[in-house]
């Protein structure tokens, strides 16, 4: 094979790969083709052409699809799964049951939490009432002191003046 034939074969191979790539649907993370920059659209719709996140790669997409396939395994037939998979599924189901019961307040932990919460509420209400009573008491005491002060002031004004008489 001559050099020109090898070049022609490589060029044909490259063009075929580009054609295949152009016919496939765009995946998240794929960059737009280089010729789309020259499309002439100068509107605000240029952002729609960009991928959601250029850091997404084909490898991460394949890992994501593997995880989704694992999540979609049939839950009914546990005998076909390995021991680890079966135990993981059972543990997950048990945790979900516990969380549901806990949210409904039917577990011991939830009952103790609710009891503790009721005690805290009672303490806060008692503290609020005590502070309110102390505040009212302070206001009453301040009123009494002000009244006593006013009475002393009135008594001192109305009585005989103390001290030496003024010289004329």
Does 164 score more than 90 pLDDT? no
How high is the pLDDT of residue 24? 74
- Name, in order, each residue with C-beta under 8 angstroms of 54's C-beta and a sequence gap of 6 or more: 29, 31
Does 8 score more than 70 pLDDT? yes
Q: What's the pTM value of the predicted model, to 2 decimals? A: 0.37
Beta-carbon-side half-sphere exposure of residue 158 (alpha carbons within 13 Å): 6
Please tell me the distance from the alpha carbon of residue 22 to that of residue 29, in angstroms, as a whole number. Answer: 15
Least confident of 40-49, 55-64, 144-153: 40-49
DSSP 36-86: GGGS---STTHHHHS-S-TT--HHHHHHHHHHHHHHTS-SS-GGGS-HHHH
How high is the pLDDT of residue 20? 84
Tell me the range of 15-29, 56-70, 129-143 where mean pLDDT is highest: 129-143
Please tell me the distance from the alpha carbon of residue 47 to that of residue 45, in angstroms, as a whole number. Answer: 5
Does 42 score more than 80 pLDDT? no
How high is the pLDDT of residue 26? 66
Please tell me the distance from the alpha carbon of residue 89 to that of residue 71, in angstroms, as a whole number. Answer: 10
As a whole number, the mean pLDDT across the chain is 81
pLDDT, tens digit (0-9, with 9 covering 90-100), for 65-124: 666 665 555 556 777 889 999 999 999 999 999 999 988 888 899 999 999 999 999 999
How high is the pLDDT of residue 37? 52
CA distance to 13, 31, 45, 51, per residue, from 54 (Å):
27, 7, 18, 6
Please tell me the distance from the alpha carbon of residue 76 to that of residue 80, in angstroms, as a whole number. Answer: 10
Please tell me the distance from the alpha carbon of residue 107 to that of residue 92, in angstroms, as a whole number. Answer: 18
Does 58 score more than 80 pLDDT? no
């Amino acid at each position: 094979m001559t050099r020109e034939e090898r070049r022609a074969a490589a060029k044909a191979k490259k063009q075929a790969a580009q054609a295949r790539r152009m016919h496939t649907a765009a995946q998240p993370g794929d960059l737009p083709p280089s010729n789309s920059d020259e499309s002439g659209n100068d509107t605000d719709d240029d952002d729609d052409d960009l991928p959601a996140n250029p850091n997404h790669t084909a490898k991460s997409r394949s890992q994501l699809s593997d995880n989704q396939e694992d999540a979609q395994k049939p839950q009914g037939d546990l005998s076909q799964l390995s021991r680890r998979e079966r135990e993981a599924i059972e543990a997950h189901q048990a945790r979900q049951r516990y969380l549901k019961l806990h949210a409904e307040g039917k577990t011991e932990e939830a009952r103790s939490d609710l009891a503790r919460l009721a005690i805290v509420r009672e303490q806060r209400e008692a503290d609020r009432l005590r502070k309110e009573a102390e505040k009212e008491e302070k206001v009453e005491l301040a009123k009494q002191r002000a009244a006593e002060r006013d009475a002393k002031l009135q008594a001192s004004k109305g009585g005989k003046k103390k001290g030496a008489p003024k010289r004329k």
